[in-house]
Structure 1
Amino acid sequence: MFQVAAHPTAFDAHRQHGHGHSHAHPSARRSSHHQSSSSSQGLQLPRTLARPPFAECSREAILAASPELANVPSEFIRLRLRETAPQMLAGMSCLAPSHMPAQLPRTHIPSAMNVPVRASSSSRMVPSYPTHVLAIAPSKHASHSSDAVALFPVHALVLASHCALLPRLPSAAPAHPTATQVQLPVMPLQLPSLTAFKILHSFMYTHNVGALLAALLPLPEAFTHTSGFSGEHVTHTMRSGTKLHELSSYLYSASHKSLSSLTTHAAHVKELWQDCVTLGVYDLELWDAMDLAWEIVLGAMNIAAAAH
C-alpha cells in the first residue's frame, strides 16, 4: 500500500529523478491489541509494517570506512559504535555553524565542504569529526518538494554499518583530532522523508529507543524516558494488551481526540518506515520500535473511530 524508492538515489543537483515500487512482504508479528486495519471515512492502513528481506551491510563500504574492521561482523561494529557515540556527537558539535548550514539550494551543492572546527566543550573527550556530509532532497514521490537540500554531517562507518542499500560514499581523508578544519565530501541523496531521516540519523548514533518513540509520537514521558529504556521494554509492551491500550488512549487524548491528527502521526511512522526500507536499515530494535509505534497509532485510531 505504501510506496517507497527501491533504493536511495544519488541525484544531479540540477535535475530531479527517481523511482519507486510497493512492498507487499507480510510482517510475521501480529498483536491481539486489535485485529483489523484501522478505517474511517475511507482511510485504509495496513495492519502491520512490512519488513523487507534482510540484507547484510556491504563489507566493501565498511572496509573503505575502517580497513581494520574488514573481518568484524556488522552487529559487533554497531555495538562498538554505541560506546564511541559521545565522541562522534562531540565531533559534529565542533563544526562551525557558519560553515555548516542546515540547508543549501539544490543547485548549489559543492562536491566537498571545508568546515572550521571549534574546541570541544569537554576537555576530557577527544572528538571524532564527521567524514562526510549528506545533502538530502525529498524523492519525487515525497508529498513535499523543495528547491533546497538538508545537510547532515555523518561518519562513514556509522552509515556503512547500518545502511545496506546506501550508494558508495566518495573517498575521504580522516581528520586529525587537533585539526583546525575538516574537508567533508558531499553526497547528494534522495530519500522519501527529511523529517524521518532526522530521527533515523539520531538513532544510528545514540540507539536511544525511547527518544525514537518520543520523536514519532506524543507519549507519556514516564514511558519513553524510563531509565535504561531498551528493546526489551518494547517487546514487553507489545505483549501487553493492557499497556498498548493505555498508550493508545493517551495518544488519542494527546491528539485532541482528532482522527486527522492521528492520521498525521501515522504518516510520521510510515515515513520512518519508508526511509528505513529505502536505505536498507535492518536494526532489530529500530524495527520493533516502529512496530510498537504503529500498534499504538492504530489502537488510537480505532478508539477515535468508535467514538465517532
Structure 2
Amino acid sequence: MFQVAAHPTSFDSHKHGHGHRSSHSSSQHYHQQPAVSSSVQLPRTLARPPFADISREALTAASPELANVPSEYIRRRLRDTAPQMMAGIASLAPSHLPSTLPRSHLPSSLSIPIRSQSSHSTQPSYPTHILAIAPSKPSSSHSADALTIVPTHALVLASQCALLPRFPASSSANPGSPQIQLPVIPVSLPSPAAFQLLHPFLYTHNLGALLASLLPMPQGFVQAPGFGGDHVKHVLGSGQKLHELSVYLCQVSHSLSALTSHAAHIKELWQDCVALGIYDVELWDAMDLAWEVVLGAMNLAARQ
C-alpha cells in the first residue's frame, strides 16, 4: 500500500513565491487567536509545504507520449478534457462499483460494466485505475478494513500529485466494449472522505464548488460569474469581507459543535493535499479562505 505522510512542513512564501499571507494582513484583526473548543485546538494557519514538481517517471508511466511535454501545459490541457473524463467515470455501472472494499479481500483488478451512452452525450474518456483508499490512522468513524473506492485517471493524479508513485500500466477499454478492466491501487491517506471532495476538483478546478463542499456559503458568493482564484485572493485581502462570511457561517451553523466539524473537514482536506504533494496555488488560497472564515465564525460563536 502506498503510504503518504499526514503532517506538513512549514511553507516559506518568500522562497517559493506562492504564499499570500503577507499581502492580506488587513484580515488579521478579525481572527487574532486560533479558535478552541472543549475538545479541539486548531492551528492559526494551514502551513504550506515546500514546492516540489511532479514526478516525470509517474507522468511518463501514465502517458508515455507526454514524457517531454511541460507539466504546466499538460495540466491546462487536462482541464479542457475534464468533461470527457468525468463522463467516463460516470459511465461505470454503479451496481458493479462498490463504494468500499475489504482490505482483507482486495482484488488486484476489477472488471466493471460500462453503461450505454446516449448518441448526444459527451464521448467518455474512461478511468484507468481504481484507488482503494485507507485512512492513515483508522478511527471509530472509519473501519480499518474498509477501503474507499474511487475510479480515477492516472494522468490527472500524476500531473498534480508530486508524492504519488507511478501507477502500473492499465489497458484502455476498446470502443464498444461492454466492460473495462481496471487495476486496483491501495493508497493510504489521512482522510479518504476528504479525498472524495478533492478528487473532482483535480478534474474541474472549480473553486466555488470546492468551497461550497467545505462550508455553507452565500449562494451568490460561490456562484458569482467568473468566480475563481482572483476573487478568492481579493476576499483574503479584505478583513471586512472575511468578517461578513464568518457572520453568515456563524448564523447558519447554529452551534460551536457544527463549526468545529466544518473546521475538521478543512483540516482533513489540507492533510490530504500535503500527503499527496499538491501545490495548486488557487487550491491553497481557497483552503486558506475557508480556514479564515471558519476560525472567525468560531470566535464569534464563542463570544455569544
Q: 2:82 aligns with which of 74, 82, 85?
A: 85
CA shift digits 1:181-230 (9 cap, x unpaired)? 11100001111112100111110011110000000001111111222211
1:227-242 aligned within 5 A: 227-242=225-240
Q: Does 1:50 align with 2:47?
A: yes
- Cα distance, 1:175 vs structure 2: 2.3
Determine if the alignment matches structure 1 residue 32 to structure 2 residue 26.
Answer: yes
Aligned residues: 292
Structure 1 segment 205-284 matched on structure 2, within 5 A: 205-256=203-254, 258-284=255-281
Q: Distance in 1 between matches of 2:258 and 2:156?
A: 34
Displacement of 1:178 in angstroms is 2.9
Partner of 1:10: 2
Letter in 1 for 2:102: P
Q: Is the 8 A contact 1:130 1:155 kept in 2?
A: yes
Cα distance, 1:39 vs structure 2 = 3.4
Per-residue deviation, 1:123: 2.6
**Aligned position for 1:15:** none
Secondary structure of the 1:32 match is: helix
When residues 123 and 176 of structure 1 are mapped into structure 2, their CA distance, relative to the original with a 3 A threshold, is: farther
What's the CA shift for 1:143? 6.1
Confirm whether residue 168 of structure 1 aligns to residue 166 of structure 2.
yes
Paired residue for 1:196?
Answer: 194
Gap regions ≥5 residues in structure 1: 1-8, 12-17
SS in structure 2 at match of 1:197: helix
Residue 86 of structure 1 aligns to which amino acid in structure 2?
Answer: P
C-alpha root-mean-square deviation of aligned residues, in Å? 2.0
Cα distance between partner residues in 2 of 1:36 and 1:65: 45
| Secondary structure of residue in 2 paired with 1:57 | coil
Q: How does 1:141-152 map to 2 (within 5 A)?
A: 144-146=141-143, 147-152=145-150
Aligned letter for 2:103? R
TM-score computed with the length of structure 1 as normaliser: 0.89
Q: Which residue of 1 aligns with 2:16?
A: none
Further displaced range: 62-71 or 244-253: 62-71
Q: Give the equivalent residue in structure 1 for 2:96.
A: 99
Matching residue within 117, 123, 128 for 2:125: 128
Letter aligned with residue 127 of structure 1:
P
Q: TM-score, normalised by structure 2?
A: 0.90
Pair 1:87–1:226, CA change in 2 (3 A): same
**Unpaired stretches in structure 2, ≥5 consecutive residues:** 14-18
1:122 shift after superposition: 5.2
Match of 1:186 among 184, 187, 193: 184
Change (3 A) 1:41 1:130: closer
For 1:19 and 1:50, the matched residues in 2 are separated by 14
Amino acid aligned to 1:32: S
